[in-house]
Amino acid sequence: MPERVIVFDVWGDYAHFRKNYSTSSPLTYSFPPRTALSGLIGAVVGLDKAEYFRHFFKVDANIGCKILVPVKKVRIGENLIDTKSAVKMHLIKNRTQIRFEFVKDPKYRIYFSHSDEQLYKKLKDLLTSHQSVYTPCLGLSQLICSYQFIGEFGLKSSGEEVQEIDSVVPGKCLLTPEFEEGKEYFSEVMPGEMGEAREVTDYSEILFERNGRSIRAKAKELWEVENGEHGERIVFL
């Protein structure tokens, strides 16, 4: 049972978290899947790209996400080059224009705890001093993001009665959702964990409110982040 959690915000001009079934015209998830968040945290603390995922198995790492601003999506044409057609990059002539879907002006709040005290402390120290080993991005290397350390807070179990949940919520944790008029609910099936061969071993259907408003529901594995008078109630991905 985690007793404390690191909280930080990330944002940028654009984000793209590609849906694996979309190829010729890549579509994006509305918020970062757990695997993308693992990569972002791994970049901040300097984990090797080839093996960072080994540090973020669910048995060791708890990661949650809250949407802070309404989700807006746009499509932009990008020119892709054929790197196999020439020995030197400046000699490449072939271009293929593909329309990519992006999240515009995204901002998310990330919650993180880990069984490895050394990794946990390193992330906290780097976030506090606004430093990172590698440049963090929102899905693609060119989509650089900024971030802000919000704090380290206590964490306690919040029970299974009807409550306002601030984070996105995995469907497997939902017991009885209460859909409210005026809110925009969506769900997406997203990758949750990668195995040793870097293949996705777990998918989850995630419920979220498009404008970042809370979801009223009974849920299991619900946690309260003690970061204010009312705190934030979250479910880890």
SS3 state at 52? helix
Whether residue 91 is predicted with pLDDT greater than 70 in this model: the reply is yes
CB 34 within 8 A of CB 63: yes
| Per-residue model confidence (pLDDT) at position 54 | 84
- Pairing state of beta strands 200-209 and 72-81? unpaired
| Per-residue model confidence (pLDDT) at position 77 | 87
The percent of residues in the chain predicted with pLDDT above 90, rounded, is 60
Query: Which of 33-37, 102-106, 152-156, 230-234 shows the lowest per-residue confidence on average (mean pLDDT)?
Result: 230-234
pTM: 0.91
CB 106 within 8 A of CB 90: no
Nearest 5 degrees, angle CA 79-CA 84-CA 87? 105
Query: Which of 80-84, 114-118, 124-128, 164-168 shows the lowest per-residue confidence on average (mean pLDDT)?
Result: 80-84
Whether residue 209 is predicted with pLDDT greater than 80 in this model: the reply is yes
- Pairing state of beta strands 163-165 and 232-235? unpaired
Average pLDDT, rounded, for the chain: 89
Task: Measure the CA dihedral 13/16/71/31, to 10°.
Answer: -120
CA distance 56 to 149: 20
DSSP E strand boundaries for 18-173: 61-67, 72-81, 95-104, 107-114, 146-157, 163-165, 169-170
Whether residue 1 is predicted with pLDDT greater than 70 in this model: the reply is no
The percent of residues in the chain predicted with pLDDT above 70, rounded, is 96
Measured in whole angstroms, how far is the alpha carbon of residue 189 from the centre of its chain?
13
| Per-residue model confidence (pLDDT) at position 158 | 84
| Per-residue model confidence (pLDDT) at position 229 | 62
Measured in whole angstroms, how far is the alpha carbon of residue 109 from the centre of its chain?
9
